[in-house]
Amino acid sequence: MNGMTRGVIAVCLLLAGCGGSGSSRAADTLTERQRDSMLAGSRIPGARGVGAALRAADSASARIRATDSVAP
């Protein structure tokens, strides 16, 4: 595993551990996408990997929408 993969895994584990009942009300109002976008813009190690994953997911979604919109 390279450093970026380890960083992304560490961030995911950190976020999973922060999901307890003691989380703030403001965090509860954000969507997963909004939280991931905020994380991607931070200076936390592995945050660039989260941003790259978001861009890859957006690209895949756009390709699927384009394929679905083609008339038979």
What secondary structure does DSSP assign to 20-36, as a single string? Answer: STT--HHHHTS-HHHHH
The mean per-residue pLDDT over the stretch 38-51 comes to 91
Rounded-to-5 percentages of helix, strand, coil across the chain: 70, 0, 30
pLDDT at res. 67: 87
The token pair that represents 11 in the structure block: 């961030």
Asked if the structure places residue 14 within a domain, the reply is no
Asked if the structure places residue 15 within a domain, the reply is no
Distance of alpha carbon 3 from alpha carbon 17, whole angstroms:
21
Instruction: Return the percentage of the chain with pLDDT > 90, whole number.
Output: 40
Write out pLDDT tens, residues 1-31.
566 677 667 766 666 666 555 555 555 788 9
The token pair that represents 40 in the structure block: 């991607």
Question: What total of structural domains would you count in the chain?
Answer: 1
